[in-house]
Amino acid sequence: MESVKVRKKYITNKDLYIQLLISKEMGKLTPEAERMFVLLGKKIINTFYYKDGDDKFDCLQNGYEDLFKNWYNFDELKGTNAFAYLTEVFKRGAAKGFNKLHKLKGDKENEIQVISLTGYSSDGESFDRF
């Protein structure tokens, strides 16, 4: 008897599109759509590199947050590519989370301080410390 390899099904655009239409009609996500969203997020987050594993999980959560908040904004009248829309929503959410974690510009707390190597005597004259 020959063994047949069964290809593991990830997510198809057609299935995701149908689940979004059903969810929009019901006014809430179907359990199948929720499962697809989780799979989508796990697959996308593994395409990025993070120095710190905690950053990866924080970005994953931010991506899920945006995904679960904005799924209803998909406009089926503009197109049927729900997969591309939701992927972009997740990626932008993850990027937003990363930028929150590593914000430096204008942040007084994390701003780099310049250390002067010039010293001043008690009478106000300057001298080099080294």
Q: What is the pLDDT of residues 82-113, one digit of tens each?
A: 999 999 999 999 999 888 888 755 555 554 44
Q: Is residue 4 part of a domain?
A: no
Please tell me the pTM assigned to this model.
Answer: 0.72
Count of structural domains within the chain: 1
Quote the CA–CA distance of 75 and 59 in Å, as a whole number: 26
Torsion-angle region of residue 52: left (phi > 0), alpha (psi -120 to 50) or beta?
beta
Question: Which secondary-structure segment (H or E) carries 84?
Answer: helix 82-101
10 confidence band (pLDDT: 50, 70, 90): confident
Q: Is residue 2 part of a domain?
A: no
Q: Is residue 112 part of a domain?
A: no
Q: Is residue 120 part of a domain?
A: no
Q: Is residue 92 part of a domain?
A: yes
Backbone dihedral angles phi then psi of residue 12, each to the nearest 5 degrees: -105, 150
Q: Is residue 36 part of a domain?
A: yes
Q: Domain span at residue 81? A: 13-104
Q: Is residue 111 part of a domain?
A: no
Q: Is residue 89 part of a domain?
A: yes
* For the chain, counts of helices (H) and of strands (E): 4, 2
